[in-house]
Chain A
Amino acid sequence: MTVIQTAGLTKQYGSLIALNGLSTTIGAGITGLVGANGAGKSTLIKLLLGLLTPSSGDAAVLGHDIRTQGTEIRRLVGYMPEHDCLPPDVRAIDFIVHMGRMSGLPPNVARERAADTLRHVGLADERYRLMGSYSTGMKQRAKLAQAITHHPKLVLLDEPTNGMDPASRDDMLTLVSKIGHDFGIPVLVTSHLLGELERVSDNIIVLDGGTLLRSQATSAFTEVTGVLLVEVLGEDQSQHRMGEALAAQGLPCRPRGSLIEVDPRGLPEPAKARDTIRDTAVDLSLGLVRIQAEHGQIQDIFRGEPARG
């Protein structure tokens, strides 16, 4: 199922190109949109909502053209902006009911669903409080509630974990995962923290300076890279001696913390590296604690180390 499709989508502000010829397809499940600040994530979301007009290129959201069918799109989509958007002098329950009505829910449905939604995001006990008294984490959850209360066919979440402490960040990501995987609503979620969305996303899109750097399944980012991490145990600079010995046999390696990073990828027979490591440890009378295959991380593609593929 194609939820979002873009073709050469470009947005220019004067001479600044905020989004540069983005062509990608986004399907069901959770898609993480990552990139540093200024990469063009919010610009893409506003284009998809039909709030910004593209400079060139096209996109369709749930089959609707973003240039001509903005109203249709905004009927079907839920949106959580990155900045503050809650009036402080209103109770959460009243606000979520109102926002449900603004999305077209009949009055009684809006009321029922607002109570349900606030329970889902963990604000059941605080729903009668003025939102001005909420903590950052609670505000983020109320913002999320207004985005899903009308049962949208797609939710766009712009930096939902922004400004939160690690514990609430974790709770928020759990909620995002619940929306995408349990409620079955396709999610496009952004973050400027590159590694953060690995845990919840099925697919990852990486933007850098408005340009698409990578778009693929999360597993493709995190599969084994071919690099081996080695830990040895012994007396008198065992790690150093082991490293020297491996290098002497032509295995490229370097220390990484208390481990040795061995990169056999450029060798004619990389599969033989494990045997070489084992033999070398025996020769030096060192205890071989482990040989571990390294898994890729999204950050790696910014270090110029190809995560393969």
Chain B
Amino acid sequence: MASRTGGVIHDIGYRPYEGRRLSEGSIAWSLFRRGYLEAFGIGRSARAKILPMTMAVLMLIPALVIVSVIVLVSLAEGFLNYSTYINIFSVGIVIFVAGQAPVLFTRDLRSGAISLYLARPLPTWAFALIRCASLAAAIFTISALPLLLMFIGAVSNEADFTDQASDFFPAVLSVLILSVILASVTGLISALTTRRGFAVGAILISLWVSSAFVTAVQAIADFNRMDGLSQFVGLLSPFSLADGIQSGLLGGTASFLGSPEGIGMILLYVVSSIVLVLGSLLLLIRSYRRKAK
């Protein structure tokens, strides 16, 4: 036992560790969990919590108001619509994603921590996928929580359970699809730069421009009764893509005008989503592989 007072090095005896080491599966779960918490600023500085927590709360407020109205006025039905909620309040999701995708992707590159991760047992591809999973889970949380709140509010207030459930579950599934699409696309964008500002800007622009473009073209197409064009254009934004799948395939209420009709068009929506997600993930893994060198 030696101690150098004044200096900083204390010798308290070294303890080797020969015990159990966890499998890659446990390591993956641990990385997922920490990434998920970090997306909300947990385990980071106080300042890092402001944006994600604010957006999570803002997404909940309309649902809280709706539930209060249901309870106070005893309105039971026809008042709330699960499947259009996230599209009405999509601005909250966009801001959350633009702020937090760089936290999970750009930050590792900027700080250089990526080289510590890649020098550990988890393979590069697994690291990329787990980062995406954390982001998708975080997006899903802030989008699905308001729906859950409304569902519980309605059901506990004498609304018909089967009725509510048949609207609620397809909506939740569509939120899940949207979360996965958004996470892989914005994850890829964020992993292409070490500048947080660039990533935030690029995500905001690509999500807003694509949404606005789809909405505008669909409005014109609808006015001119060009259904085909309207449905094709819907493939161009993550929000209209997820909305199309939930309305076309799961029978929910559509928020966009060009909801896909016919098995061919619905299939095209599904395949496009899969291609978009897999393509983004592949590019993401490739970009991380380059970082190892």
Listed in ascending order, the chain A residues whose CB lies under 8 Å from chain B are: 46, 49, 51-52, 71, 74-75, 77, 79, 81, 83-90, 94, 98-99, 101-107, 109, 113, 116, 119-124, 130, 146, 150-151, 171, 174-175, 178, 182-184
A89 engages B116 (CB within 8 Å): no
**B16: Cβ under 8 A from any A Cβ:** yes
**B224: Cβ under 8 A from any A Cβ:** no
Could you tell me the distance in whole angstroms from the C-beta of A273 to the nearest C-beta in chain B? 45
B22 engages A104 (CB within 8 Å): yes
21 CB contacts below 8 A, A to B, read: A52-B292, A71-B123, A74-B121, A81-B112, A83-B115, A89-B44, A101-B22, A101-B27, A102-B27, A102-B121, A103-B27, A106-B20, A120-B10, A122-B8, A122-B10, A150-B21, A151-B16, A178-B11, A182-B11, A182-B14, A183-B16
A85 engages B112 (CB within 8 Å): yes
Most central of B19, B22, B26 by chain A CB within 10 Å: B22
- How distant is the Cα of A154 from the Cα of B135 in the complex, in angstroms? 34
- How distant is the Cα of A296 from the Cα of B52 in the complex, in angstroms? 61
Q: Kindly list chain A residues whose C-beta atoms are within 8 Å of the C-beta of B22.
A: 101, 104-106
Would A84 and B112 be within 8 Å (CB), given that A51-B292, A122-B9 are in contact? yes
Could you tell me the distance in whole angstroms from the C-beta of A277 to the nearest C-beta in chain B? 44
Could you tell me the distance in whole angstroms from the C-beta of B226 to the nearest C-beta in chain A? 50
**B91: Cβ under 8 A from any A Cβ:** no
Could you tell me the distance in whole angstroms from the C-beta of A196 to the nearest C-beta in chain B? 18
Interface 1/0s, chain B 112-127, versus A by CB < 8 A?
1111111111110000
Would A89 and B12 be within 8 Å (CB), given that A71-B121, A101-B30, A104-B22 are in contact? no
Q: What is the total of A-B residue contacts with beta carbons within 8 Å? A: 122
B43 engages A146 (CB within 8 Å): no
Q: Kindly list chain A residues whose C-beta atoms are within 8 Å of the C-beta of B11.
A: 120, 178, 182
- How distant is the Cα of A116 from the Cα of B7 in the complex, in angstroms? 17
B48 engages A104 (CB within 8 Å): no
Most central of B14, B26, B292 by chain A CB within 10 Å: B14
